[in-house]
Amino acid sequence: MKPLYLITTVIVGALLIYGTLDMPRWGDPHSPASTHVSPYYLQHSLVHTATPNVVTAVLADYRGFDTLGETTVIFTAGMACILLLRRRRKG
Amino acid sequence: MIQKSDDVIVRTVARSLMPFILIYGLYVVMHGHYSPGGGFQGGVILAAGFVLLTVTQGIERTRQHMSQKTACVISSVGLLIYAGIGALCLILGGRYLDYGRLSQLLQVDQPTARSLGILGVEIGVALGVMAVMCIIFFSIFAADETE
């Protein structure tokens, strides 16, 4: 079975790399994200949220649901640590 | 299990640094609106204070301030604050996590309400991250004690 795993990994990897070829270059000023989303946040975040730090405004306000998920991930990690590492009760 | 440090200098310096670490952690959380920082970073700094306390004063002394059970409650409360603020916006007639709706409750204009909503959410994140870091640290100790 080992060669099959290797072939599958190589094929999937090649497909993923092929998929990235169409993506805009890193930091490209003409990519859709840089022409629509970023200028909107930079121009409006102070007016909308009264928060000078754009990163905080995007993280906690515009992308608040994403940050809720991140916090849930961290919470789940803590709960998993308790479940895996707690002292076993006798018996 | 980590014992109390034998060195009086290490113990004293760590004990006198502890309040400053906590104050700095709170500063990073509260100043997230104006400078790099916020809930995640501030929470980790707060947890670092407790880790320093454990390493120098021993786990028994630290448990008096922050036990495993307390950390569990704080982490749940942190997540509940975040989700609760989202649900509060829902109750006030907005969308989930639409902090602008809090303006009715807080009697301020909409941008200020969103700013305060961000602050509340950051405090929730900071509590959750701090408690989870402590939980992970204490869990590793508890696993070590059984050997």
pLDDT tens-digit readout, B40-74: 999 999 999 999 998 898 888 888 888 888 999 99
Contact A75, B79 (CB under 8 A): yes
Q: How confident is the model at residue A89 (pLDDT cuts 50, 70, 90)?
A: low
Backbone φ/ψ region at B96: left (φ over 0), alpha (ψ -120 to 50), beta: beta
- Does the pLDDT of residue B30 top 50, yes or no? yes
Residue B66 touches partner A, C-beta closer than 8 Å: no
**pLDDT score, position B141:** 78
pLDDT at residue B85 tops 90: yes
Residue A73 in domain: yes
Decide if A72 and B143 are in contact by the 8 Å CB cutoff.
no
Domain layout of chain B by residue ranges = 8-145
pLDDT at A91: 41
Q: Give the number of domains in chain A.
A: 1
Q: Kindly state whether residue A90 falls inside one of the protein's structural domains.
A: yes
Q: Does residue B123 sit at the A interface (CB-CB below 8 Å)?
A: no
pLDDT > 70: percent of chain B = 95
Contacts of B87 in chain A (CB under 8 A): none
Given A49, A50, A85, which is nearest B139 (Cβ)?
A85
**How far is Cα B86 from Cα B98, in angstroms, rounded to an integer?**
7
Query: Whole domain around residue A59: which residue ranges?
Result: 54-91
Question: Average pLDDT, whole number, for chain A?
Answer: 88
Measured CA to CA, the distance from residue B134 to residue B25 in angstroms comes to 15
- Chain segment B112-144, per-residue pLDDT in tens: 999 999 999 999 999 999 999 999 988 887 766
How many residues are listed for chain B in this entry?
147
Instruction: Give percent of chain B with pLDDT exceeding 90.
Output: 54
User: What does the pLDDT average to over A69-91?
Assistant: 83
Distance from the Cα of B25 to chain A's closest Cα (Å) equals 16
pLDDT reported for residue B145: 63
Is residue A82 included in any domain, yes or no? yes
What 8-state DSSP symbol labels residue B146? T
d(CA B113, CA B111) in angstroms, rounded, equals: 5
A27 belongs to a structural domain:
no
According to DSSP, residue B100 is labeled G
Check CB contact under 8 Å for B32 and A56.
Answer: yes
What angle do helix axes B8-30 and B39-57 make, rounded to 10 degrees? 170
CB A81 within 8 A of CB B139: yes
Lowest mean pLDDT among B26-30, B32-36, B57-61, B110-114: B57-61
Q: How far is it, in rounded angstroms, from Cα A41 to Cα A31?
A: 16
Task: Say what the ipTM of the complex is.
Answer: 0.85
Among all residues of chain A, which has the CA nearest to that of B31? Answer: A53
Q: Does A80 touch chain B (CB under 8 A)?
A: no
Kindly state whether residue A2 falls inside one of the protein's structural domains: no
